[in-house]
């Protein structure tokens, strides 16, 4: 009986466990590459590796010599050009975000945030609101003014609705509390963002490139509502669309929109 169980363990369960762990690691690695926009780096390296293998198999000595000569410079160039993506990968690894370690769920009253954003949008008052998720935002918080206040629409409207010292910069919200205001965020250097958006949207995208935070923006010029996360910027969303995206990103119950219910917009 013991020998049978041992044979079954060695021939069935161990291979299944080995394959399962490997598949999980491959999936998480691919997911990490997607989130950090590092997938083009991997594709480029695979292309060069395939080209070198082809040159080796076919005996293309000149091409193989050129690739061997350029390889050190190409590797160094990849590290320099894609330094932001690589930094985000190692940051997530260091903070245990790859395998879901350290992730925390908390209840956030997004109604308070969305109500404030609608009021500010109607008044054409710019706003920048950061919703912390799992990664630490200490660097951003330390650039602002500590508040540690209970989250409410009135507080957000007061901060952004008037030209006070707290108006410039971002508000950071953690665990349903307004931790700090007037925080400075890193600006995105994406060429498209630099051409199409102002400082407020570039700051939202910049933080979304370096952390897993969700950043909300109200445009001062147009009143448009936007959202940045995981190096992406969703511009000019309706309140319903904003609520649906937020609910998905923060793991909150999501109400069906009128479009999903078959009603007119």
pLDDT digits (tens, 9 = 90+) for 199-248: 999 999 999 988 889 999 999 999 999 999 988 899 999 999 998 898 88
Q: Are residues 124 and 51 in the same domain?
A: no
Judge whether 224 lies within some domain: yes
Report the SS3 class of residue 130: strand
Quick one: pLDDT at residue 17? 80
| Angle formed at CA 52 by CA 46 and CA 56, multiple of 5 degrees | 140
User: Given a cut of 50, is residue 105 above it in pLDDT?
Assistant: no
- Residue 208, class by beta-carbon neighbours within 10 Å (0-12 exposed, 13-18 middle, 19+ buried)? buried
Considering the chain, what is the average pLDDT of its residues?
Answer: 78
Q: Are residues 116 and 183 in the same domain?
A: yes
Q: Are residues 82 and 23 in the same domain?
A: yes
Judge whether 17 lies within some domain: yes
Quick one: pLDDT at residue 101? 41
Q: Are residues 48 and 145 in the same domain?
A: no
Task: Tell me the two tokens of residue 202.
Answer: 């570039």
Q: Are residues 124 and 246 in the same domain?
A: yes
Task: Tell me the two tokens of residue 93.
Answer: 């690894």
Contact 211, 137 (CB under 8 A): yes
| Nearest-angstrom CA–CA distance, 60 and 12 | 44
Q: Are residues 66 and 170 in the same domain?
A: no
Element (H, E) at 180: strand 177-183
The range of the structural domain enclosing residue 72 comes to 1-94
pLDDT band at 183 (very low <50, low <70, confident <90, very high): very high
CA pseudo-torsion sign 141, 146, 152, 157: negative
Number of domains forming the structure of the chain: 2
Contact 214, 137 (CB under 8 A): no
Judge whether 104 lies within some domain: no
User: Given a cut of 50, is residue 102 above it in pLDDT?
Assistant: no
User: Given a cut of 60, is residue 259 above it in pLDDT?
Assistant: no
Q: Are residues 114 and 245 in the same domain?
A: yes
Judge whether 10 lies within some domain: yes
The tally of CA atoms less than 13 A away on the side-chain side of residue 51 is: 15
Considering the entire predicted model, what is its pTM? 0.61
Nearest Cα neighbor of 46 from 30, 59, 31 is 30
Judge whether 255 lies within some domain: no
Judge whether 168 lies within some domain: yes
- For position 164, which CATH number holds? 3.40.1700.10
């Amino acid at each position: 009986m013991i020998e049978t169980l041992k044979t079954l363990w060695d021939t069935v369960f161990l291979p299944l466990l080995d394959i399962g762990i490997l598949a999980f690691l491959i999936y998480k690695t691919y997911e990490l590459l997607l989130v950090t926009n590092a997938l083009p780096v991997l594709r480029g390296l695979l292309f060069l590796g395939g080209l070198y293998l082809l040159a080796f198999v076919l005996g293309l000595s000149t091409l193989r010599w050129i690739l061997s000569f350029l390889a050190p410079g190409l590797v160094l160039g990849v590290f320099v050009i894609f330094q932001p993506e690589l930094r985000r990968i190692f940051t997530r690894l260091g903070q245990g975000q790859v395998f879901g370690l350290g992730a925390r769920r908390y209840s956030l009253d997004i109604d308070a945030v969305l109500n404030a954003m609608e009021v500010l949008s109607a008044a054409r008052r710019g706003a920048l609101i950061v919703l912390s998720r799992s990664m630490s935002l200490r660097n951003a918080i330390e650039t602002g003014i500590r508040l540690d206040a209970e989250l409410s629409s009135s507080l957000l409207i007061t901060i952004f609705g008037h030209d006070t010292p707290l108006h410039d910069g971002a508000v950071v919200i953690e665990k349903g509390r307004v931790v700090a205001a007037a925080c400075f965020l890193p600006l995105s250097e994406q060429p498209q963002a630099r051409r199409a958006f102002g400082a407020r949207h570039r700051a939202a995208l910049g933080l979304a490139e370096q952390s897993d935070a969700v950043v909300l923006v109200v445009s001062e010029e147009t009143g448009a509502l936007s959202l940045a996360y995981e190096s992406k910027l969703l511009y000019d969303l309706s309140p319903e669309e904003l609520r649906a995206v937020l609910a998905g990103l923060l793991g909150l119950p999501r109400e069906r929109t009128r479009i999903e219910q078959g009603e007119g917009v």
